[in-house]
């Protein structure tokens, strides 16, 4: 047989006679060359079982066919990928090759012939070949005929039998008689999991049907930000050439299906971003959106269209980059605020960028070169038209810089600077919060600018800022620095309630400065209702109250943990994960967690990882990171880790989401491949997750949670007649939105039916359905309606100010009221009432009462001399209110309009009264009477001692108001700092005498006895106020001193001052010094003691005072008793409730004054008495302190 007679590319189709028995048993002749391994000589034809049909065989070619290369050619993935031939020819390389055509049918059987080239054949002996063929014939119930060319040494094989059996037999023949070959090609990395399938579901049939060994490279590095299919992995196939080719085709078919769509991104660089208009393309085959703030443009759709559009955009961006120039200009920071970047962009298409932070003067202008020059010139002219000044507020309050920084932060945070700027017409610039948090800065410059034509604006703004700064001294500011910046975001919510009630501003500087400091600034503000400035104690109490509200954060700090891990810089990529997804996932594990890579918390550190959070969270995250780093030690499958999880088929559609949105979200969140089993047959479907190991585990956990959530979801249906639907939904859907938020459900209604569906977690859906049902029942019960018509003139009264009246009617009647506005310009309006029958009746009654009242309303104007306005108004409007109240029933009337008095300084002299005629007539009559009384009034004066004026004023002016209201007069009393004793009364003559009599009655002396105590004895008799307190408690007797009250108080607290010699030396434990009086006291200078109380009690106290005067007048010496350890010794001398001191006084007969801690000389006891009494006192004191 010549080489030309056997074609490697030919296929053999054998059509036997219809009478030929081709069953396995019919051709089971003894094994031999003539049947199973026939050698064909050159020039002859191969022998077959039916020579009569030899012409049915086409000419077989030799080994000249082209070979399949071992090197994979470039592959185009996607819809345009060309199909690969299933059985390519080979050359004489190590590849084995077979050539065949589809088998031809022989009755119910098929027959297929193929050739194994000699160079691709595995060397086997004749006996081995016979044994293999016999084994396969028996195994697959087929007939096998083998013919070997004596010239080419190519082996032709014909297999006959059932189609499926022929295919299997052929595959095994090729595997066992052909040399193994290797074939390599590339696939997109992201299609690996799809090729393998869940549990090898997709790959196993490929291996089984082709007999090829398949090795798919694993991911060795994290995913980049490139296109989804740009990263590739190598696939290596090993087996017979036909099996490898078929396996390659089957694998590429899967790749083709997976890559027909593409998602990609394109990033516009900073310098061209501003020149790209928003892109919005949304067709069936292509979606393009962007750029976002980061310059990212997202493209998705059919791969070819995405690639083409990306190339188009890239070309455009390159054009922009080539034509756009950037120029930098140094501009003093003060003038940055005058450059209007938006204006320049609109006018010249030039982008202006200022340096970040508080440093740097370089301003960049980006655009076409010619436009940049124009923009710079324009900016320069802009800045020339402004004037700027700097106000350094750190010079205030004694150059207290830290306080100035706090005030600047408060003014900026509370928008006070903005308010001042708006009011004055100036622009105000403040240092950044980071700069204000810097304790090393020694100034706080505030930039004030305004157009040069409005220089007064700068002056006004400067004055306002200075006033604000001066109004807040350091005593009104408290720094809280004991709370970690970790809790900065919780400061405002934690202090909200306390800050509002205490009228304290809270400035979370720790948050505003991005954690550069732990400071929280508290500012005690002025309260509008305060008539007098608060004491420092009151201010401190308010500040401390707000500080105390932060105790919850202080307590949380006890659970705060900080860890700094040592992680090599190159290993931290494993913590960050693909596209930062792993780090995001770690941070998402807790709301209170901070992780900083390449940082020690306070500064950059290449080999450090900073973690801060609650102890349990940090411990867990630390463990997770250790696991991540441990996994990273084995790079084999770190980025191609694969796991499977089962999810109920019932939730599959929800897990996938509309157009795959839910799966896409999972893929993007964790940067993993998620493949869902197609057409699952059981109750559960397999979900395969492939990617970075940590992310795969996190995605698996989230899928489990979503599955559980979706599995618990139910749908409830409620039939709601359309006429009740609006009430059920509420205005703008407020009722439905409230239920959706409360129960985490979704409520939908159909326009075409009465069905309302509630979908969500079973418990929430049931609860929401119950509430909707209750609301529906209520609406049905209260669904009656009635229309009433009211005059247009009464509508405003029916509604009331801010809806007050109509809302009250709604509440009282328990119904809904709708005032129709389509007939707003007509003489009447329709009001629709909806609710219960009883409610409709009640509401109509109230509305018609208002209408009747409006129809009975009149307006009367009365001209009155403005000097009488204050008399009609009265103190704080008291007279006005009394006039209205005494006029009659004014309930539900417009109180303001019943009596309208022009404001002070008004040009009007008319008093207006609007309301029901009866009320108006009464009010006008009262006003006329007041005016008449004032016109007939006279003025008289009465002299009352200054110290008794308080009796006429009373607490908070209550007595004076009572006099004025009871007698219809005006009482004018001199101010406290006015020495005049004259009280002026203005009123009708017949009232004046009554008022004067009342004032005399109020100021008459009411004491029972008066004793003049010598001034020099006042302190001794008063016992430093102790005597007065004692008689008040024991005898209910009050003691007053009239005009001498202030002097009496000073004398009571005054004690003789000790000389330096009165104190002992370091070697002495105590010292007693006696000093005789050098002068005779003046007895003529006295202090009046006025006693009030019961007759017997006053007499008893009077006698006590006289006895005290007699006793203390004999005292002519002063003694000073110094003790080294004064504090503890004095407590011992005083004894419980002063019992020991009282005993010593009584026994010695001397005056003894133990100092208070607040006294200037608080280490010396002062004594008064004679030499004898002082000597007794000394002994008693020494005896007391020497007691054990």
How far is the C-alpha of 551 from the C-alpha of 459, rounded, in Å? 44
What is residue 1082's three-state secondary structure? coil
Q: How confident is the model at residue 82 (pLDDT cuts 50, 70, 90)?
A: very low
Percent of the chain past pLDDT 90, that is, above it, reads: 17
Superfamily of chain region 714-781? K Homology domain, type 1 (3.30.1370.10)
Distance of CA 269 to the CA centre of its chain: 31
Helix 722-729, helix 762-781: angle, nearest 10: 120
pLDDT of residue 89: 37
Neighbours of 314 (CB within 10 A): 12
Over residues 768-804, the pLDDT tens digits come to 999 999 888 887 777 788 899 988 888 888 888 888 8
Q: Which of 629, 624, 632, 638 is nearest to 586 (CA)?
A: 624
* DSSP structure string for 639-658: TSEEEEEEEEGGGHHHHH-G
Least confident stretch, 81-85, 118-122, 223-227, 499-503: 81-85
Q: Which of 303, 295, 344 is nearest to 320 (CA)?
A: 295
823 or 651: which leads in pLDDT: 651
Least confident stretch, 405-419, 806-820, 871-885, 907-921: 871-885
What is residue 722's three-state secondary structure? helix
CA-to-CA dists, residue 66 to 180, 623, 1081, angstroms: 19, 60, 143
Q: For 1018-1025, what is the mean pLDDT? A: 86
Q: What is the DSSP letter of 1058?
A: P
What kind of architecture, by CATH, is found in domain 325-331+343-382?
2-Layer Sandwich (3.30)
Q: For residue 703, give both structure tokens.
A: 């899928």
Task: Quickly name the fold that domain 857-935 has.
Answer: Ribosomal Protein S8; Chain: A, domain 1 (3.30.1370)
What residue spans of 104-231 are helical by DSSP H? 126-140, 163-177, 192-196, 203-210
How far is the C-alpha of 850 from the C-alpha of 843, rounded, in Å? 11
Superfamily of chain region 385-472? K Homology domain, type 1 (3.30.1370.10)
Task: Please count the CA atoms within 13 angstroms of the CA of 209 that sit on its side-chain side.
Answer: 14
Over residues 574-616, the pLDDT tens digits come to 888 888 888 888 888 777 788 889 888 878 888 999 998 888 8
pLDDT of residue 319: 86
pLDDT of residue 1136: 86
Q: Are 916 and 893 in contact (CB under 8 A)?
A: yes
pLDDT at 237 over 90: yes
Superfamily of chain region 784-855? K Homology domain, type 1 (3.30.1370.10)
Q: How confident is the model at residue 1120 (pLDDT cuts 50, 70, 90)?
A: very high
pLDDT of residue 758: 92
Q: Are 1003 and 1042 in contact (CB under 8 A)?
A: no
pLDDT at 914 over 50: yes
How far is the C-alpha of 911 from the C-alpha of 879, rounded, in Å? 14
Q: For 40-52, what is the mean pLDDT? A: 37
pLDDT at 19 over 80: no
pLDDT at 1155 over 80: yes
What is residue 681's three-state secondary structure? coil
Burial call 1002-1037: b when 16+ CB within 10 Å, e when fewer: ebeeebbbebebbbbbbbbbbbbeebbeebeeebeb
Over residues 179-219, the pLDDT tens digits come to 888 899 988 887 888 888 877 888 888 988 888 899 988 76
Q: Are 219 and 151 in contact (CB under 8 A)?
A: no
pLDDT of residue 159: 92
628 or 1121: which leads in pLDDT: 1121
Q: For 102-117, what is the mean pLDDT? A: 74
What is the overall mean pLDDT for the chain? 81
pLDDT at 405 over 90: yes
**Strand ranges in 78-141 using DSSP code E only, listed in sequence order:** 98-100, 104-106, 109-116
Least confident stretch, 90-99, 246-255, 1061-1070: 90-99
Backbone φ, ψ for residue 1055 (5° rounding): -130, 150
pLDDT at 950 over 80: yes
Residue 239 burial (CB < 10 Å; 0-12/13-18/19+)? buried
pLDDT at 98 over 80: no
pLDDT at 487 over 90: no
pLDDT at 239 over 90: no
* DSSP structure string for 383-437: HHTEEEEEEEGGGHHHH-HHHHHHHHHHHHHTTHHHHHHHHHT-EEE---HHHHT
Pair type for strands 143-149 and 38-40: parallel
How far is the C-alpha of 441 from the C-alpha of 435, rounded, in Å? 8
Q: How confident is the model at residue 635 (pLDDT cuts 50, 70, 90)?
A: low
What residue spans of 197-278 are helical by DSSP H? 203-210, 241-258, 270-273
Q: Which of 112, 138, 116, 146 is nearest to 40 (CA)?
A: 146
Q: Are 1087 and 1044 in contact (CB under 8 A)?
A: yes
pLDDT of residue 229: 54
Partner residues linked to 99 by β-bridges: 115
Q: What is the DSSP letter of 36?
A: T
Q: For 261-269, what is the mean pLDDT? A: 81
- Parts of the chain belonging to CATH 3.30.1370.10: 325-331+343-382, 385-472, 560-632, 641-711, 714-781, 784-855, 857-935, 938-1003, 1052-1185
How far is the C-alpha of 972 from the C-alpha of 231, rounded, in Å? 96
Least confident stretch, 5-9, 442-446, 1056-1060: 5-9
pLDDT of residue 18: 29
692 or 59: which leads in pLDDT: 692
Least confident stretch, 52-56, 70-74, 1041-1045, 1055-1059: 52-56
How far is the C-alpha of 1125 from the C-alpha of 1120, rounded, in Å? 15
- Out of 3.40.50, 3.30.70, 3.30.1370, 3.30.1490, the CATH code matching 261-323 is 3.30.1370
Percent of the chain past pLDDT 70, that is, above it, reads: 88
Neighbours of 468 (CB within 10 A): 17
Task: Quickly name the fold that domain 641-711 has.
Answer: Ribosomal Protein S8; Chain: A, domain 1 (3.30.1370)
User: What's the CA angle centered on 47, arms 45 and 51, to 5 degrees?
Assistant: 95
pLDDT at 160 over 90: yes
What is residue 300's three-state secondary structure? strand
Superfamily of chain region 560-632? K Homology domain, type 1 (3.30.1370.10)
pTM: 0.45
How far is the C-alpha of 812 from the C-alpha of 805, rounded, in Å? 11
pLDDT of residue 988: 86
Partner residues linked to 530 by β-bridges: none
How far is the C-alpha of 178 from the C-alpha of 242, rounded, in Å? 10
Which CATH code for domain 1052-1185?
3.30.1370.10
pLDDT at 248 over 80: yes
Partner residues linked to 611 by β-bridges: 563, 595
CA-to-CA dists, residue 233 to 220, 230, 250, 675, 1060, angstroms: 10, 10, 17, 18, 100
Q: Which of 1169, 1124, 1125, 1118 is nearest to 1148 (CA)?
A: 1169
Q: How confident is the model at residue 766 (pLDDT cuts 50, 70, 90)?
A: very high
pLDDT of residue 74: 41
Residue 1183 burial (CB < 10 Å; 0-12/13-18/19+)? exposed
pLDDT of residue 44: 38
pLDDT at 76 over 50: no
Which CATH code for domain 938-1003?
3.30.1370.10
Cα dihedral 604/610/612/615 (nearest 10): -160
pLDDT at 60 over 90: no
Q: How confident is the model at residue 65 (pLDDT cuts 50, 70, 90)?
A: very low
What is residue 962's three-state secondary structure? helix
**Strand ranges in 755-820 using DSSP code E only, listed in sequence order:** 755-761, 784-791, 816-819
């Amino acid at each position: 047989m010549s080489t030309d007679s056997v074609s490697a590319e030919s296929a053999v189709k054998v059509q036997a006679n219809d009478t030929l028995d081709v069953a396995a048993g019919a051709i089971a002749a003894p094994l031999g060359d003539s049947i199973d391994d026939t050698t064909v000589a050159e020039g002859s034809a191969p022998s077959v079982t039916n020579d009569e049909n030899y012409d049915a065989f086409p000419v077989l070619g030799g080994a000249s066919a082209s070979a399949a290369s071992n090197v994979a050619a470039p592959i185009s993935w996607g819809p345009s990928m060309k199909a690969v031939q299933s059985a390519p020819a080979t050359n004489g390389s190590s590849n084995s090759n077979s050539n065949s055509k589809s088998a031809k049918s022989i009755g119910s059987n098929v027959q297929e012939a193929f050739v194994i080239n000699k160079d691709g054949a595995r060397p086997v002996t004749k006996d081995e070949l016979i044994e293999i063929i016999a084994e396969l014939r028996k195994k697959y119930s087929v007939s096998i005929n083998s013919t070997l060319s004596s010239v080419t040494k190519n082996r032709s094989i014909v297999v006959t039998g059932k189609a499926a059996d022929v295919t299997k037999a052929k595959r095994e023949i090729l595997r066992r008689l052909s040399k193994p070959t290797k074939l390599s090609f590339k696939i997109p990395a992201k299609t690996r999991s799809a090729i393998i399938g869940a549990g090898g579901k997709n790959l196993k049939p490929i291996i089984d049907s082709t007999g090829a060994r398949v090795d798919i490279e694993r991911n060795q590095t994290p995913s980049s930000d490139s296109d989804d299919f740009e990263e590739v992995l190598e696939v290596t196939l090993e087996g017979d050439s036909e099996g490898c080719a078929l396996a390659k085709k089957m694998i590429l078919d899967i790749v083709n299906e997976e890559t027909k769509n593409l998602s990609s991104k394109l990033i516009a660089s900073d310098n061209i971003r501003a020149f790209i208009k928003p892109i919005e393309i949304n067709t069936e085959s292509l979606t393009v959106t962007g750029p976002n703030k980061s310059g990212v443009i997202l493209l998705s759709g059919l791969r070819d269209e995405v690639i083409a559009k990306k190339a188009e955009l890239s070309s455009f961006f390159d054009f922009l980059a080539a034509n756009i120039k950037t120029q930098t200009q140094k501009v003093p920071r003060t003038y940055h605020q005058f450059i209007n970047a938006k204006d320049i962009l609109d006018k010249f298409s030039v982008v202006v960028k200022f340096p970040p932070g508080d440093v740097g003067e370089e301003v960049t202008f980006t655009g076409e070169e010619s436009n940049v020059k124009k923009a710079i010139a324009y900016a320069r002219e802009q800045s020339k038209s402004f004037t700027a000044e700097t106000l350094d507020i750190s010079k205030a309050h004694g150059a207290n810089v830290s306080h100035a920084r706090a005030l600047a932060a408060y003014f900026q945070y509370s928008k006070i600077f903005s308010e001042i700027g708006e009011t004055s017409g100036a622009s105000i610039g403040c240092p950044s919060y980071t700069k204000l948090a810097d304790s090393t800065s020694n100034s706080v410059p505030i930039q004030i600018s305004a157009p040069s034509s409005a220089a007064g604006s700068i002056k006004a703004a400067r004055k306002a800022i200075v006033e604000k700064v001066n109004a807040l001294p350091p005593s009104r500011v408290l720094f809280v620095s004991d709370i970690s910046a970790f809790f900065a975001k919780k400061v405002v919510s934690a202090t909200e309630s306390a800050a509002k009630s205490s009228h304290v501003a809270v400035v979370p500087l720790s948050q505003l400065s991005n954690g550069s400091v732990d400071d929280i600034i508290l500012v005690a503000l002025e309260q509008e209702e305060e008539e007098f400035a608060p004491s420092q104690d009151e201010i401190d109490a308010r500040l401390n109250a707000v500080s105390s509200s932060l105790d919850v954060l202080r307590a949380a700090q006890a659970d705060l943990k900080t860890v700094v891990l040592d992680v090599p810089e190159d290993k931290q990529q494993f913590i960050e994960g693909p596209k930062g997804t792993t780090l995001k996932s770690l941070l998402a594990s807790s709301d209170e967690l901070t992780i900083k890579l390449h940082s020690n918390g306070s500064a950059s550190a290449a080999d450090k990882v900073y973690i801060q959070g609650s102890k349990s969270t940090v411990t867990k995250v630390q463990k997770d990171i250790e696991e991540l780093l441990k996994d990273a030690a084995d790079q084999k499958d770190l980025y191609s880790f694969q796991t499977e999880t089962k999810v109920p088929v019932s939730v599959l559609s929800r897990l996938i989401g509309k157009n795959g949105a839910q799966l896409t979200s999972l893929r993007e969140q964790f940067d993993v491949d998620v493949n869902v089993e197609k057409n699952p047959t059981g109750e559960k479907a397999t979900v395969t997750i492939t990617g970075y190991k940590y992310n795969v585990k996190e995605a698996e956990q989230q899928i489990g949670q979503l599955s559980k959530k979706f599995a618990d979801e139910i749908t409830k249906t409620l039939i709601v007649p359309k006429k009740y639907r609006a009430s059920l939904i509420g205005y703008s859907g407020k009722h439905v939105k409230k239920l959706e938020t409360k129960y985490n459900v979704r409520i939908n209604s159909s326009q075409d039916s009465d069905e309302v569906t509630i979908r969500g977690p079973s418990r929430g859906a049931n609860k929401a359905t119950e509430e909707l049902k209750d609301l529906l029942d209520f609406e049905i019960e209260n669904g009656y309606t009635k229309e009433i018509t009211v005059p247009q003139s009464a509508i405003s009264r029916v509604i009331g100010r801010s809806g007050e009246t109509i809302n009250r009617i709604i509440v009282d009647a328990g119904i809904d009221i709708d005032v129709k506005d389509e007939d707003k310009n007509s003489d009447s309006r329709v009001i629709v009432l909806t609710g219960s029958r009883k409610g409709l009746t009640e509401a109509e009654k109230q509305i018609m009462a208002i209408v009747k009242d409006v129809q009975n309303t009149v307006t009367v104007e009365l001209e009155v001399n403005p000097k009488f306005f204050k008399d009609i108004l009265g103190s704080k409007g008291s007279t006005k209110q009394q006039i209205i109240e005494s006029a009659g029933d004014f309930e539900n009337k417009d109180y303001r309009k019943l009596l309208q008095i022009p404001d002070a300084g008004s040009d009007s002299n008319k008093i207006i009264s609007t309301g029901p005629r009866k009320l108006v007539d009464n009010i006008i009559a009262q006003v006329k009477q007041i005016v008449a009384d004032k016109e007939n009034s006279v003025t008289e004066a009465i002299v009352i001692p200054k110290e008794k004026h308080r009796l006429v004023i009373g607490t908070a002016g209550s007595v004076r108001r009572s006099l004025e209201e009871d007698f219809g007069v005006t009482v004018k009393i001199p101010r406290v700092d006015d020495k005049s004793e004259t009280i002026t009364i203005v009123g009708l003559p017949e009232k004046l005498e009554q008022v004067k009599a009342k004032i005399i009655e109020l100021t008459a002396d009411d004491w029972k006895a008066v004793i003049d105590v010598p001034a020099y004895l006042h302190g001794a008799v008063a016992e430093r106020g102790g005597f007065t307190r004692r008689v008040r408690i024991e005898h209910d007797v009050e003691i007053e001193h009239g005009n001498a009250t202030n002097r009496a108080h000073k004398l009571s607290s005054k004690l003789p001052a000790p000389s330096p010699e009165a104190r002992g030396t370091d070697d002495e434990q105590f010292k007693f010094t006696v000093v005789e009086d050098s002068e005779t006291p003046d007895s003529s200078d006295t202090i009046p003691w006025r006693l009030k109380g019961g007759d017997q009690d006053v007499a008893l106290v009077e006698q006590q005072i006289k006895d005290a005067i007699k006793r203390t007048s004999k005292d002519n010496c002063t003694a000073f008793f110094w003790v080294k350890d004064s504090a503890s010794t004095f407590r011992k001398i005083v004894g419980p409730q002063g019992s020991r001191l009282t005993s010593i006084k009584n026994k010695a007969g001397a005056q003894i004054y133990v100092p208070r801690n607040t006294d200037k000389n608080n280490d010396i006891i002062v004594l008064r008495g004679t030499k004898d009494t002082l000597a007794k006192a000394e002994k008693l004191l020494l005896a007391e302190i020497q007691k054990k």
